[in-house]
Amino acid sequence: VKEMAKNVAMQAAALKPLYTNRNEVSQEYIDHEKEILTVAAKNEKPDANDKIINGMVMGRINKELKEICLLDQVYVKAEDGKQSVAKYVEEVAKANSAKITVKSFVRFETGEGIEKKEENFAEEVAKQMGM
C-alpha cells in the first residue's frame, strides 16, 4: 500500500494533473472546451453533420479529461500500457483486502512562488573582481 501511494504521488508529480477525478472539473471548463473543439471540428470537417461533430468533440473532451484527471490517467508503470491510475489503486486495494480511495492531492513545484532576482552576470563578475 505504501508503494502504491508513492507510485501515485510520482504519477502526480510527473504528469501534472489538474484534478483528482472528473467530478472536480467545472461545467464551465467543459463548456468552454466544447465551444473551442466544436469550431475546430467544423473547420476540420465542414461537410459533417452535427451528430458527427458532437461525437468528435466528446471524444476529444474525454481524451483531455484522461490527461488532466489523475485517476483517469494511464498509469505510467502499467504493464499493458492501458491501465488507469484508478484501476491500479483498485487492484492494490483488492490485493490487500482494503478500501483505498484517492480523495485529493497537492502538487508543489520546486521554486514555485519564489521571485527570481534579475542580475547582470557581467556586472556581477566585475563587482567580484573589484572593477
Q: How confident is the model at residue 93 (pLDDT cuts 50, 70, 90)?
A: very high
pLDDT at 110 over 90: no
Total domain count, the chain: 1
Give the burial string for 15-36 (b: 16+ CB within 10 Å, else e): eebebbbeeebeeebeeebeee
45 CB-near residues (< 8 Å, 6+ apart):
52, 53, 56
pLDDT of residue 66: 96
Q: How confident is the model at residue 90 (pLDDT cuts 50, 70, 90)?
A: very high
Is-above-0.95 flag for pTM? no
C-alpha cell at 44: 476540420
pLDDT of residue 131: 66
For 13, the domain range is 2-128
pLDDT of residue 123: 78
The 10s digit of each residue's pLDDT in 39-74 is 999 999 999 899 999 999 999 999 999 999 999 999
pLDDT at 117 over 90: no
Strand partners, 69: 19
